[in-house]
Amino acid sequence: MKSFFNKQHQKLIADPMGDQNPITIQVLGICSALAITTQLENALVMTLAVIFVMTSASSIISILRNHIPNRIRIIVQLLVVASLVALVDQILKAFLPDASEQLSVFIGLIITNCIIMGRLEAFAMGNKLWDSFLDALGNAFGYGWILVAVAFVRELFGSGKLMGYEVPGFSYLYELGYMNNNLMILPPMALIVVGLIIWMQRSRNNDLIEEN
Amino acid sequence: MDLVNIFIKGVFIDNMIFAYFLGMCSYLAVSKTVTTANGLGLAVIFVLGITVPVNYILENQILKAGALQWLGDNFVSVDLNVLSLIMFIAVVSAMVQLVEMIIEKFSPALYSSLGIFLPLIAVNCAILGGALFMQERQYSTIIEATSFALGSGVGWYLAIVAIAAIREKIRYSNVPAPLRGLGITYIITGLMGIAFMCFMGIKI
């Protein structure tokens, strides 16, 4: 009798957070991850949206997996994801209009976020409900922590704030001549910050190093 | 004149990769050699050039608030914008399927060179992004929308071919081991993005 939350289940959650991270290792879900990380708040909203869409989509597809004809599975998957994203879009417009305005098209682009399609295709199509749910949760969190880490660095150094609030110690630094690094706000810096995260991760775990 | 401006804007100033990070996944995954990058880039231009005008018609004849007027006065107040995401993605995946079938039928040579990339394009965010930007920016005619679509397609093409060429060369360089592959590609893309930012201030 398998337990409800055994070793294998822990692995499903833990792997995508570290050695199988969707952004730094699997190269999935990068598009949206980079564009919305200028502010921590946006990154958090995006992470929540992705966690919701991903866990629901994986569960739904996993329940339906034996009834989906193989030839049209991509369209079925896209439609399930698109309906969920439309739901999130409407909820955000109603309750968080500011965040919705700033995220603009990127909420819609969750549909084509390869992390969702990738996990549906690779995992939910062939596994049971609870396993698929955990896999989706793990991957969404793995995606989320990179997003939050990048947004933290960019907002802290780019505008000297966190979640839109001034950081306490910074006023002294400004008197000493410290200036905000406006380069951090610009889109290319997101790529470079992720590149540095990859560098750190891979120098800690040599198994992840690629062939040139 | 306007059309040329929209085109140039799509290629350089609002470059899909360097300004909006759209289609990053396939950009990073398929840019190992110039030949494959070339094939995928052309396929993206092609699919963008077809799906954006189709979505434009859909948006203006069906989805927009008041767009259903041609059905009769009762329909003037109908606003189907909620459905736009689902409609757009359905159009994109249907179009990709259709394009794949047409190419397979009429040009087997092109099909075998593009083959594996075509289905991938359905989930390339640059395609759906093109449709969503078209909706957001409210182009006034279908020709302007097409010009925008071709412009962003060409911009994407340029970006992926450029990075593929750089990656082919960098294979002979001594990159720090943990940065090899994905890491250095990110950083190079970032530097290319900074270079592309010099177009940002240009008003045309």
Interface-testing mutation among B59, B63, B85, with chain A (most A C-beta atoms within 10 A): B85
Band of pLDDT at residue A181, cut at 50, 70 and 90? confident
Band of pLDDT at residue A121, cut at 50, 70 and 90? confident
Does the distance separating the beta carbons of B86 and A212 come in below 8 Å? no
Does the distance separating the beta carbons of B23 and A31 come in below 8 Å? yes
The residue-averaged pLDDT of A45-73 equals 85
Q: Which residues of B touch A112 (CB under 8 A)?
A: 89, 123-125, 127-129
Interface-testing mutation among A73, A79, A93, A109, with chain B (most B C-beta atoms within 10 A): A109
Q: Which two tokens stand for residue A206?
A: 């040599």
The residue-averaged pLDDT of A105-110 equals 76
pLDDT tens-place values along chain B, 204 residues long: 588 888 888 888 888 888 887 888 788 877 888 887 887 888 888 888 988 999 888 888 887 777 677 777 777 777 777 778 788 888 888 888 787 778 788 878 777 766 566 666 777 778 888 888 888 888 888 888 899 999 999 999 999 999 999 988 888 888 887 888 788 888 888 888 888 888 877 776
Asked whether the beta carbons of A69 and A62 are under 8 A apart, the reply is no
Q: Which two tokens stand for residue B66?
A: 């008041």
The predicted pLDDT at position A79 comes to 83
Residue position matching structure tokens 């929209």: B6
Q: Which residue of B lies nearest to A34 if distances are taken between CA atoms?
A: B21
Average per-residue pLDDT in chain A? Answer: 80
Residue position matching structure tokens 């071709």: B150
DSSP, res B124: -
Burial call B18-55: b when 16+ CB within 10 Å, e when fewer: bbbbbbbbbbbbbbbebebbebbbbbbbbbbbbbbbbb
Least confident of A28-37, A143-152, B114-123: B114-123
Residues 129-158 of B with CB under 8 A from A: 129, 132-133, 136
Other beta carbons within 10 angstroms of residue A44's beta carbon come to 16
DSSP, res A212: -
The predicted pLDDT at position B117 comes to 65
Round to the nearest angstrom and report the end-to-end CA distance of chain B.
10
Asked whether the beta carbons of B50 and B32 are under 8 A apart, the reply is no
User: Which of B21, B128, B170 is opposite residue A111, by nearest beta carbon?
Assistant: B128
Q: Which residue of B lies nearest to A93 if distances are taken between CA atoms?
A: B82
Round to the nearest angstrom and report the end-to-end CA distance of chain A.
45
Could you tell me which residue, A196 or A11, shows the higher pLDDT?
Answer: A196
The C-alpha of B160 sits at a distance from chain A's nearest C-alpha, in angstroms, of: 14
Q: Which residues of A touch B133 (CB under 8 A)?
A: 105
pTM of the predicted structure, to 2 decimals: 0.81
The predicted pLDDT at position A1 comes to 44
A–B interface: beta-carbon pairs under 8 A: 152
At CB < 8 A and 24+ separation, what contacts does A155-161 make? A155/A38, A155/A39, A155/A40, A157/A181, A157/A184, A158/A38, A158/A182, A158/A183, A158/A184, A158/A185, A158/A189, A159/A184, A159/A185
Q: Which residue of B lies nearest to A195 if distances are taken between CA atoms?
A: B183
DSSP, res B14: T
Could you tell me if B8 lies within 8 Å of chain A, comparing CB atoms? no
The residue-averaged pLDDT of A54-78 equals 83
The predicted pLDDT at position B165 comes to 92
DSSP, res A179: -
ipTM of this predicted complex?
0.78
